[in-house]
Chains A and B, each alone.
Chain A
Amino acid sequence: MNKLQAKLTELKTNNKKALVAYLVAGDPDLDSTLELMHLFVKSGVDIIEIGVPFTDPIAEGPIIQKAHDRALKLNISLDLIIDMVVEFRKTDSETPIVLMGYLNTFISYSKLLNSSDELGVDAILVVDIPGELKLTNYGITNSNIDTISLISPTTSNERIQQITQNSSGFIYYVNLRGVTGSSNLDVNEIEKNINKIRQYTDIPTLAGFGIKSPEDAKILAKSADGVIVGSSIVEMIDSAKTTKDFSEIENYLKDLHKAIN
């Protein structure tokens, strides 16, 4: 069992919900990312999701797109991100880390991703591969790295079955038709679909996209095994990029943590 599976099992046993927080690596710079990751953990985050910047992030709304652009201005690439994760692991060997990004950047670094069991990364979520496919289909064969699959409101039952059969780690349920940072949550639909997914699998299902307030998180945590929050955090990081005073984020994450448990 890897760190991610261990964490999710532990939460489930204790009847707790997972708080997953997203940030873009290198926004505003890699040192800040490292600092923020530790701050996340201190503030009650269970799993860290690191966005890998890409020139053409088609599933992102404007807030996260701009964060990708800022990171790319600093030439943040996957090898630098792995170095940073290795650094993070020197003081945190527990918190699961998921990389989220686009296929082209991952296949460009497949050699690196296969090179060691000690990269510190527990799973990869590729936005632009169909849910039933895994990274092994693209030459990324590191058995210590799970592929997180996405299921969306438009996924057919047949596909849900295929996707859940191939999944490890957790299922990422995309709450809405849209890009990250949208705000059209349909709670009834989400609940219905998560319950449907549960008929096919025991793997935890976490809900992401469009979650902003602790209230959103609280409602969704009733049906999901956890919530994933991204754009709101990235927006706060951007506001604090000069002062590097991240206390707003700390408070926000603590509120989220409280709201879901």
Chain B
Amino acid sequence: MSNKDNYPDINGFFGEYGGKFVPETLMYALDELETTYQQLKDNPEFLKEFYKDLSHFVGRPSPLYFAKRLTEHYGSANIWLKREDLNHTGAHKINNTVGQILLAKHMGKKRIIAETGAGQHGVATATVAARLGLECHIYMGSEDVRRQSLNVYRIKLLGAHVHPVDSGSATLKDALNEALRDWVTNVDDTYYIIGSVTGPHPYPMIVRDFNAVVGQEIIKQSQELFQQLPDAVVACVGGGSNAMGAFYPFINEKDVRLIGVEAGGKGVETGEHAAPLNDGTPGVLHGARSYLMQDEAGQVKDTKSVSAGLDYPGVGPEHSWLKDTNRAEYVAVSDDEALEAFHQLTEFEGIMPALETAHAFAYLPKLLSELDNKSNIVVNVSGRGDKDINTVAEIDGIEF
């Protein structure tokens, strides 16, 4: 898990992005976490434990699956699906929580907290906490509690407490605020499992490293299945963890295009979206400097997306750096395009993606028009769509 690019730097910066912008009370906790992680990340015993859990608890490796009908439909590049939706609990989020709970265990923390948007990270956190018998609290915006009610109940079944957050826009951003407030208050015995490559250093690095198994497997599987690296890797970007995990092992493979798809909401041009890399400016939120949706006064703007997991005004700092250095491309698709892609993948491949994931697929028409049938692309299927059935039904005007 060692870091070949030496990013972030010792202060937690990726170029001019990242850092530790937190209240002083949390500085020692971040230092403690960083020290623990540096000690463990290349420790063979720790890695053995982590990879054992990934195989036997998560069910890794996840397949790289050839999407035959979708490929035929577009008549362009071969489309391969990285099946993170098949992981235990139904998304890539479990890779990170399995890793971070091991850190929590090593640090002797008794209480686990997390924020969640779509509820997938909440479920993944409650799952690993249950497995170790640890007290677990999940903060979730009340708007998300409504639209992801299935996951709320799953979290409760797993024995965790769900705290709905009413402040601000009552979505992921506000859940993060509340989780940070909890952490400041209970910092001595509490481990905060952040759910994406966001937040203060060392979180963006840790969450990336635990998700990098996705990209590592893609490299190996591509070589086995089509004897070369893919021409492009495509992933949706909320905070950016599934994308970062898929991209990271490819950063030095300059011929592989890395494409992150943000939530365009009602359309980037309307201003009602959640696409900071497409339509934001650098700012500081939740402990890091990164692209941010903000007004001239430095106030964070409300976001809009059909997908709770992408409905966030910020993005992981490493993505900002990949954008500025032109190593990755960031695009946006609208709610409508994502919904269409949701139905398309379900009908063509028998795979129902999460609405977050559907954003990655919604960019395919554009991308495939630039490629030919000798190319191979990998789309990261970050999660499955069961949690979104209510939302989709509501939009389609169906009542149960």
Our verdict on whether A and B bind, yes or no, reads yes
Which residue numbers of A lie inside 8 Å of B, CB to CB? 54-59, 61, 65, 69, 72, 75, 77-79, 102-109, 127-131, 149-156, 159, 163, 174, 177-179, 182
**CA gap between A150 and B28 in the complex, in Å:** 13
Task: Please name the residue on chain B nearest to A54 by beta carbon.
Answer: B299
Mostly helix, strand, loop or mixed at chain A's interface? loop
Decide if A154 touches B22 in the complex (CB within 8 Å). no
Cβ of B27 within 8 Å of any chain A Cβ, yes or no, is yes
Interface size class of B (residues with CB under 8 A): 35 or more
Decide if A150 touches B296 in the complex (CB within 8 Å). no
The 6 closest A-B pairs by CB, nearest first: A108-B298, A77-B297, A105-B298, A152-B25, A178-B185, A55-B300
Decide if B184 touches A178 in the complex (CB within 8 Å). yes
Chain A residues lying within 8 Å of B180, measured Cβ to Cβ, are 58
- Please count the residue pairs between chain A and chain B whose beta carbons lie under 8 angstroms apart in the complex: 110
Cβ of B228 within 8 Å of any chain A Cβ, yes or no, is no
Decide if B27 touches A104 in the complex (CB within 8 Å). no
Chain B residues lying within 8 Å of A129, measured Cβ to Cβ, are 21
Looking at the assembled complex, report how far the CB atom of B181 sits from the nearest CB atom of chain A, in whole angstroms. Answer: 5
With contacts A55-B168, A69-B167, A105-B297 taken as known, whether A127 is within 8 angstroms of B23 at the C-beta atoms is yes
Decide if A56 touches B286 in the complex (CB within 8 Å). yes
Scoring B residues 303 to 335 as 1 if CB is less than 8 Å from chain A, else 0, what string do you get? 000000000000000000000000000000000
The interface centre, meaning the residue of B26, B167, B185, B298 with most chain A CB atoms within 10 A of its CB, is: B298
Decide if A179 touches B185 in the complex (CB within 8 Å). yes
Within 8 A of A (CB), among B21-54: 21-29, 31
Task: Please name the residue on chain A nearest to B314 by beta carbon.
Answer: A56
Residue of B167, B188, B294, B297 near A65 (CB, 8 A) is: B167
Chain A residues lying within 8 Å of B22, measured Cβ to Cβ, are 128, 130
**CA gap between A59 and B168 in the complex, in Å:** 15
Chosen A-B contacts, 19 in total, with CB atoms closer than 8 Å, are: A55-B299, A56-B168, A72-B299, A103-B284, A104-B292, A105-B297, A105-B299, A108-B296, A128-B22, A130-B22, A131-B27, A152-B24, A153-B25, A154-B26, A154-B188, A155-B28, A159-B27, A163-B24, A177-B187
Decide if A104 touches B186 in the complex (CB within 8 Å). no
**CA gap between A155 and B29 in the complex, in Å:** 10
Cβ of B222 within 8 Å of any chain A Cβ, yes or no, is no
Chain B residues lying within 8 Å of A65, measured Cβ to Cβ, are 167
**CA gap between A128 and B31 in the complex, in Å:** 16
Decide if A182 touches B24 in the complex (CB within 8 Å). no
Decide if A128 touches B299 in the complex (CB within 8 Å). no
With contacts A56-B300, A177-B187 taken as known, whether A128 is within 8 angstroms of B25 at the C-beta atoms is no
